[in-house]
């Protein structure tokens, strides 16, 4: 028996699990497996001990198969969740203050709004269709609960939304968010293992801050509507795709380790990248990327 059979079993196991989870055939809790990572060391050690023995590869493959079955059981049954202090992700959906949909009416005297959104493992979509209310957020598949708080100070509204998710996998927790286009927004999103799709073209915003764990980000930007709109992305192990109009002025600053980058229409200047019209433009974007193992692609459309 080939000595690489044991290794092949591990690759086949994780490949099948990821495929089934991506297509919602199963709900696999990958986070629950982190406590069992020493099993990999044990499997390698057993392989080394048995590789020169009679029937050693067969026993090594059998051990790998048993470990995979054990991990399959853990991933399908464990309720352990990804949870950091700034994130909310648990099974507290019975809380009477949580709702599938939350809205805030638009006060006539509000000219600016600050939104802080704390969310666990979820797929968050900032809709391209604006809301007639000041804000509207919903969980279409019913796997999340939402709570909103609002404080008015002068002509500014300070909004905090907390999202509680029930499923371990990101793609099963879907949250949709729509904003009113009238105010000037300051936006901050604190997310766990998440995907974020933001249709930002209709909105005026001074700053957008995204703090996230393992994340896939897709931002659709229109022409900048203010003299300076700052976008700060603080992530780990993420991919980021930004669609930007060809004539929009933008500068990129990053202190991250980028695994790959595609920057269409940008010129490098010292430690920054900028469009040729950045210095002369009246309205512009400033994009700051912080983190590690990031890949970024900016497409001019």
Alpha-carbon gap, residue 51 to 40, rounded angstroms: 16
CB hemisphere CA count around 138 (13 angstroms): 9
The DSSP bridge partners found for residue 214 are 236
Tell me the pLDDT of the chain averaged across its residues.
Answer: 82
pTM, two decimals, is: 0.68
User: What pLDDT sits at residue 280?
Assistant: 95
For the chain, percent of residues with pLDDT exceeding 90:
36
Write out pLDDT tens, residues 262-276. Answer: 888 899 887 789 999
Average pLDDT of the residues in 220-245: 89
Alpha-carbon gap, residue 90 to 207, rounded angstroms: 29
Q: Answer with the residue of higher pLDDT: 85 or 280.
A: 280
Q: Are 214 and 191 in contact (CB under 8 A)?
A: no
User: What pLDDT sits at residue 81?
Assistant: 55
User: What pLDDT sits at residue 89?
Assistant: 44
Largest separation between any pair of C-alpha atoms in the chain: 82
Alpha-carbon gap, residue 251 to 10, rounded angstroms: 44
Scored b (16 or more CB within 10 A) or e, 189-216 reads bbbbbbbbbbbbebbebebbbbbbbbbb
User: What pLDDT sits at residue 90?
Assistant: 46
Give 125's pLDDT tier (boundaries 50, 70, 90).
very high
pLDDT at 105 over 90: yes
Q: Are 214 and 236 in contact (CB under 8 A)?
A: yes
Quote the tokens at residue 152.
């008015």
Alpha-carbon gap, residue 245 to 253, rounded angstroms: 19
Write out pLDDT tens, residues 15-33. Answer: 888 888 777 678 787 777 8
Our measurement of the distance from residue 220's CA atom to the centroid of its chain's CA atoms, rounded to an integer in Å, reads: 15
User: What pLDDT sits at residue 25?
Assistant: 78
Alpha-carbon gap, residue 251 to 166, rounded angstroms: 39
Strands (E) located in 221-283:
228-244, 250-254, 257-263, 267-269, 272-274
Q: Which residue has the tokens 């099963």?
A: 172
If we measure between CA atoms, which residue out of 223, 229, 235 comes closest to residue 296? Answer: 235
């Amino acid at each position: 028996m080939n000595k690489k059979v044991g290794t092949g079993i591990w690759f086949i196991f994780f490949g099948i699990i990821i495929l089934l989870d991506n297509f919602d055939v199963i709900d696999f809790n990958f986070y629950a497996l982190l406590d069992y990572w020493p099993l990999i060391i044990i499997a390698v050690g057993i392989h080394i001990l048995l590789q020169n023995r009679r029937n050693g590869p067969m026993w090594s493959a059998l051990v790998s198969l048993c470990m995979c079955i054990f991990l399959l059981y853990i991933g399908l049954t464990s309720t352990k969740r990804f949870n950091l202090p700034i994130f909310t992700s648990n099974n507290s959906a019975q809380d009477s203050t949580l709702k599938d949909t939350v809205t805030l009416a638009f006060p006539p005297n509000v000219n600016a709004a600050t939104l802080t959104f704390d969310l666990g493992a979820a797929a968050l979509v900032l809709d391209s269709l604006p809301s007639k209310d000041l804000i509207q957020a919903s969980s279409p598949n019913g796997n999340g609960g939402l709570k909103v708080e609002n404080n008015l100070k002068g002509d500014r509204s300070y909004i905090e939304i907390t999202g509680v998710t029930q499923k371990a996998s990101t793609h099963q927790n879907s949250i949709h968010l729509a904003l009113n286009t009238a105010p000037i927004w300051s936006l901050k999103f604190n997310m766990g293992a998440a995907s974020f799709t933001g249709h930002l073209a209709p909105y005026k915003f001074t700053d957008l801050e995204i703090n996230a764990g393992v994340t896939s980000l897709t931002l659709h930007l229109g022409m900048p509507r203010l003299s300076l709109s700052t976008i700060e992305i603080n992530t780990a192990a993420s991919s980021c795709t930004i669609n930007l109009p060809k004539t929009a002025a933008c500068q990129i600053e990053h202190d991250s380790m980028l695994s790959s980058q595609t920057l269409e229409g940008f010129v490098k200047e010292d430690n920054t990248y900028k469009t040729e019209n950045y210095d002369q433009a009246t309205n512009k974007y400033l994009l700051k990327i912080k983190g590690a193992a990031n890949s970024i692609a900016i497409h001019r459309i």
